[in-house]
Structure 1
Amino acid sequence: MTNILTSIAEELSNRLLRLDPETLERFADLDGKVVLIRLKDSSLKFYIRPFGGGFRMSHEWDKAPDVTLTGSAFAFAKLATSESDTDLFFKREILIEGDTALGRRFSHILKKLDIDWEEIASHYVGDVVAHQFGNIARDARQWTSDAAETLGK
Structure 2
Amino acid sequence: MDYDPEVPKQLARMEGRVIELHFQQLELSLYMIISADGLDIREVFEGKADATISGTPLALAMMNIQSSTSSLLSGDVVIEGDTELAAQFQTFLKAIEVDWEEPLSKITGDVLAHQFGNLVRDVSGWVRETTKTTAINASEYVREEQNILPSKFEVNKFKAGVDDLRLSVERLEAKVQRLMAAKLNLENDSKRK
TM-score higher than 0.5 here? yes
Q: Give the superposition deviation at 1:147.
A: 5.5
User: For structure 1, which runs of at least 5 residues remain unmatched after alignment?
Assistant: 1-15, 116-139, 149-153
State the partner residue of 2:57. 73
Task: Report SS of the residue matched to 2:14.
Answer: coil
User: Are 1:107 and 2:90 an aligned pair?
Assistant: yes
Percent identity, aligned pairs only, is 24
User: Are 1:87 and 2:66 an aligned pair?
Assistant: no
Q: How many residues align?
A: 107
Distance in 2 separating the partners of 1:78 and 1:141: 7
Pick the aligned partner of 2:15 from 23, 31, 46: 31
Q: Give the superposition deviation at 1:110.
A: 1.4
User: For structure 2, which runs of at least 5 residues remain unmatched after alignment?
Assistant: 99-122, 132-193
Aligned 1:1-150 pairs, distance under 5 A: 16=1, 18-82=2-66, 84-113=67-96, 143-146=126-129
State the partner residue of 1:5. none
Aligned CA-pair RMSD = 2.5
Distance in 2 separating the partners of 1:114 and 1:61: 24
1:39·1:72 contact (CA, 8 Å) conserved in 2? Answer: yes
Give, as a single letter, the amino acid of the residue that structure 1 aligns with 2:25.
Answer: D
Task: Report SS of the residue matched to 1:29.
Answer: helix
Task: Report SS of the residue matched to 1:64.
Answer: coil
2:18·2:51 contact (CA, 8 Å) conserved in 1? Answer: yes
Higher relative contact order (CA 8 A, sep 6+): 1
Task: Report SS of the residue matched to 1:109.
Answer: helix
Structure exhibiting the larger radius of gyration computed from Cα positions: 2
Distance in 1 separating the partners of 2:12 and 2:56: 28
Q: Deviations over 1:84-116 (max 9, x none)?
A: 21011111111001111111111122123379x
Distance in 1 separating the partners of 2:59 and 2:129: 14
Distance in 1 separating the partners of 2:8 and 2:68: 21
Superposition TM-score, scaled by structure 1 size: 0.61
Distance in 1 separating the partners of 2:89 and 2:3: 18
